[in-house]
């Protein structure tokens, strides 16, 4: 059955046009313009694509938080149907301040442990989330060491760099403290996943959720210059940051998204990983 036929079968609405969109890591993405004038987003994939997990993550955020996310109409690995979010603005200072309030509220949602009730995905990669009482243990074992080993097995990360990473991992408590409680995070906070309309945040897409120290989310938001001073000034009005975040912990936390990028894209990100390891003496 054609994609248009499947959409009509599931939703009762017939697409007049399917417009390809950019951004699909595991399959094709389309905006479906419907004959009734409405719009929706359709993502297609094969077995193991993780689209069902993406749909579950969006639904979890919609039920547990006030974060603006697409409404999920249908979710299975072969097809994810979501509401279309109109966007087109830039992440200027006003929009960043709006984002800060939304994320501060999200980070106020407490979990009983770090991790999640199920494993999730980041960039199409498996993201293990066993429930763990210690944040340092979780970050070490299920983020840095897990993704480092994945990158080595894929032939993307040199074993000598992995050895340096392992040495740092056993010293994480020199710089990282246990947070007051596990916080719900979006998990993949870069500009491509933040939709702006005018000077307001219209929605957040492509989550990689789990319960964490929210500083890992804040660090990621600086890696590709998504958020800057306007965001952090407003965020700290809601949730003050502990000393040392910008000086030390931001780089430690950004090792994880950098390792994700090494696993996905290869050698061009290795230098950034090694610079952080050198900064901390490894």
Q: Exposure of 39 by Cβ count < 10 A (0-12 exposed, 13-18 middle, 19+ buried)?
A: middle
CA 168 – CA 179 distance, rounded (Å): 20
Q: Which residues, 6 or more positions from 19, have their beta carbon under 8 angstroms from its beta carbon?
A: 30, 31, 32, 33
Q: Exposure of 150 by Cβ count < 10 A (0-12 exposed, 13-18 middle, 19+ buried)?
A: middle
Catalytic residues: 188
CA 220 – CA 153 distance, rounded (Å): 24
CATH number for the domain formed by residue range(s) 3-83: 3.30.200.20
pLDDT of residue 26: 65
CA 111 – CA 210 distance, rounded (Å): 9
pLDDT of residue 24: 59
CA dihedral for 233, 234, 237, 241, sign (positive or negative): negative
CA 189 – CA 206 distance, rounded (Å): 9
DSSP code per residue over 89-137: ----HHHHHHHHHHHHHHHT-B-SSBB-SS-EEETTEEE----BS-HHH
Strand runs labelled E in the chain = 15-21, 29-34, 39-44, 72-76, 79-83, 120-122, 125-127, 183-185, 194-197, 200-204, 210-212
Tens of pLDDT, residue by residue over 117-133, are: 999 999 899 999 999 99
The secondary structure of residue 207, as a DSSP letter, is -
Strand runs labelled E in 165-222 = 183-185, 194-197, 200-204, 210-212
Q: What's the pTM? A: 0.96
pLDDT of residue 47: 82
CA 78 – CA 125 distance, rounded (Å): 17
CA 246 – CA 242 distance, rounded (Å): 10
pLDDT of residue 165: 98
pLDDT of residue 27: 72
pLDDT of residue 25: 61
* CATH 3.90.1200.10 residue spans of the chain: 93-279
- Return the exposure string of 193-227: e unless at least 16 CB atoms fall within 10 Å of the residue's CB, then b: bbbbeeeebbbbbbbbbbbbbbbbbbbbbbbeebb
* CATH 3.30.200.20 residue spans of the chain: 3-83
The superfamily (CATH) of domain 93-279 is: Aminoglycoside phosphotransferase (APH), C-terminal lobe (3.90.1200.10)
pLDDT of residue 89: 85
Contact 144, 255 (CB under 8 A): yes
Residues of the chain with pLDDT under 50: none
């Amino acid at each position: 059955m054609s994609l248009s036929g499947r959409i009509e079968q599931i939703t009762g609405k017939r697409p007049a046009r399917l417009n390809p969109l950019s951004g699909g890591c595991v399959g094709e993405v389309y905006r479906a313009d419907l004959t009734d004038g409405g719009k929706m987003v359709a993502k297609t994939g094969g077995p193991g694509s993780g689209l069902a997990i993406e749909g579950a993550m969006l639904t979890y955020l919609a039920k547990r938080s006030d974060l603006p996310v697409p409404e999920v109409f249908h979710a299975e690995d072969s097809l994810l149907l979501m509401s279309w979010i109109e966007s087109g603005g830039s992440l200027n200072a006003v929009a960043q301040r709006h984002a800060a309030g939304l994320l501060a509220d999200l980070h106020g949602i407490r979990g009983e442990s770090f991790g999640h009730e199920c494993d999730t995905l980041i960039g199409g990669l498996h993201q293990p989330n066993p429930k763990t009482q210690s944040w340092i243990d979780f970050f070490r074992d299920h983020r840095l060491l897990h993704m480092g080993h994945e990158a080595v097995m894929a032939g993307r990360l040199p074993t000598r760099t992995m050895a340096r990473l392992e040495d740092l991992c056993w010293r994480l408590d020199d710089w990282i403290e246990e947070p007051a409680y596990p916080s719900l995070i979006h998990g993949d906070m870069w500009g491509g996943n933040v939709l702006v309309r005018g000077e307001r945040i219209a929605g957040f897409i492509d989550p990689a959720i789990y319960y964490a120290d929210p500083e890992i989310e804040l660090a990621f938001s600086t890696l590709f210059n998504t958020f800057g001073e306007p965001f952090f000034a407003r965020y700290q009005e809601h949730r003050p940051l502990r000393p040392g975040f910008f000086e030390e912990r931001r780089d430690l936390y950004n090792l994880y998204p950098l390792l994700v990028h090494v696993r996905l894209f290869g050698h061009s990100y290795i230098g950034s990983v090694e610079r952080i390891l050198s900064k901390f003496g490894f």
